[in-house]
Amino acid sequence: MVKGKITGLSVKDVRFPTSLGHHGSDAMHTDPDYSAAYVVIETDAEDALKGYGLTFTLGKGTEIVVCAVKALSHLVVGRNLEDIVTNFRDFYRQLTSDGQLRWIGPEKGVVQLATSAVLNAVWDLWAKQEGKPLWKLLVDMTPEQLVCCIDFRYITDALTEAQALEILRNGKQRQETREEHMLKNGYPAYTTSCAWLGYSDKQLQKLCAEALKEGWTRFKVKVGADLQDDIRRCKLIRDMIGPDNKLMLDANQRWDVNEAISWVKELALFKPLWIEEPTSPDDILGHGTISKALAPLGIGVATGEQCHNRVMFKQFLQAHALQYLQIDSCRLGSVNENLSVLLMARKFNIPVCPHAGGVGLCELVQHLIIFDYISVSGSLENRMCEYVDHLHEHFKHPVTIRNAAYMPPTDPGYSTEMKEESVLLYQFPSGAIWQQLIHEKKAEI
């Protein structure tokens, strides 16, 4: 039962000083402080349940996303939750197509990140009121209810509402078997935590040895800053993991198109499955050129963590510019827009391998990919979800990894809620952790 009027929306700037340990570092983002604009919505319902939502940032600039969330809040506060979720497409449009706010998007950049944080909170609240983890809420919805959440504007040349319905109706077949499979085995994952670019070889070796012991079989390595370093690190990790385990490379947008092709050719002997974000995330045709050049080497192109909306994903698919599609739970317009991308990927037969490097992204995206397997793709072939081993301790319902797989969450909601004490400690700049770092001159406002 969905109930209550939204009576309040608050937003906080929460930052974790991950740059101090080089966690999360890559060829373009050398000193990320994993951060979030963290939204809480309240209703007047007696259950007193709250919805928690976030979007992921790298530290500086989180205050701008916070500002954008505040600019959106008048569209949310005062609304009945039931009205929102029964006409979710309309509500999504109101947020993304506000006659004035859309000028600072539309559906991209800061305002889209803010939209995501707000809508993630709405989905969390809805799932909590239904008493289900978000993936199960989605699995139990009818195809008609699901398509009512999607804004098809701009994508009907690739996916119509009727086609989406057909995919979802097919997805209902033997859904229970796949749900059981997930509950028993979980969704396969890969780890990025061993090989951030700022880690020393020694640290990389140690983390890789530990990961192998824990049963990880798929590993991602950051590349792109220096070719000789890349060759050394890839050799190190390939030697450790052996020929059968999977290796993926991530350049985080470092190269021009031709440079990407020649650089990756130098790394081909390490047999990477994919090169991720080889060039500008906006260069769809460039990704197409790289895909074509690397296909004979058996190397695919993966991208999506900075693909800001369904329209871009549509074009990536139409242009055969990616072979692995990386949805992001906090970059696209929440579950609503992710649904449209999952359905387009299904139609184009492209495997979805979500992005989850960041704070909270693992917690959120596991719901989407588990739903994808049960109700949309029905396949695990060539698919895996990213995992990073950072900051889970700050969440009330952190992910559970077993045998290198995400076990489906059982707590109601979208797993978005942070521990209150963590929010207090890490709020920027007033939290005790930041006050201390500022005092020690290890951080500045």
Residue ranges that bind Mg ion, judged by CB under 5 A: 250, 276
CA 219 vs. chain centroid, Å, equals 18
- The helix or strand, by DSSP H or E, that contains position 38, with its residue range, turns out to be strand 35-43
Which amino acid makes up residue 390?
A: H
Nearer to ligand LFC, 127 or 204 (CB): 204
To the nearest whole angstrom, how small is the minimum distance from the Cβ of residue 56 to ligand LFC?
A: 8
Among 26, 42, 337, 417, binds ligand LFC (CB under 6 A): 26
Tell me, yes or no, if 394 is annotated catalytic.
no
Among 130, 151, 179, 305, binds ligand LFC (CB under 6 A): 305
Residue window 36-75: x/- pattern of binding to ligand LFC, with contact defined by CB under 6 A: ----------------------x-----------------
Torsion angles phi and psi, residue 302, rounded to 5: -120, 140
In contact, 399 and 366? CB cutoff 8 Å = yes
Q: Does 304 bind ligand LFC (CB under 6 A)?
A: no
Please name the residue ranges forming H helices in 53-154: 62-72, 81-86, 88-96, 109-130, 134-140, 143-147
Nearer to ligand LFC, 143 or 398 (CB): 398
What residue 17 binds from ligand LFC, Mg ion, none (CB within 5 to 8 A, per partner kind)?
A: none
- The helix or strand, by DSSP H or E, that contains position 401, with its residue range, turns out to be strand 400-402
Q: How far apart are CA 19 and CA 32, in angstroms?
A: 5
Helix 284-294 and helix 310-318: axis angle, to 10°?
A: 40
The site for ligand LFC, by CB under 6 A, has a size of 13
Q: Does 171 bind ligand LFC (CB under 6 A)?
A: no
405: which 2 tokens? 């797989």
Collapsing DSSP to helix, strand or coil, 142 comes out as coil
Number of Cβ within a 10 Å radius of residue 311:
18
Nearer to ligand LFC, 84 or 301 (CB): 301
Residue window 338-357: x/- pattern of binding to ligand LFC, with contact defined by CB under 6 A: -----------------x-x
CA 105 vs. chain centroid, Å, equals 20
To the nearest whole angstrom, how small is the minimum distance from the Cβ of residue 357 to ligand LFC?
A: 2
Nearer to ligand LFC, 110 or 137 (CB): 110
Q: Does 278 bind ligand LFC (CB under 6 A)?
A: no
Tell me, yes or no, if 184 is annotated catalytic.
no
Catalytic residues: 222, 355
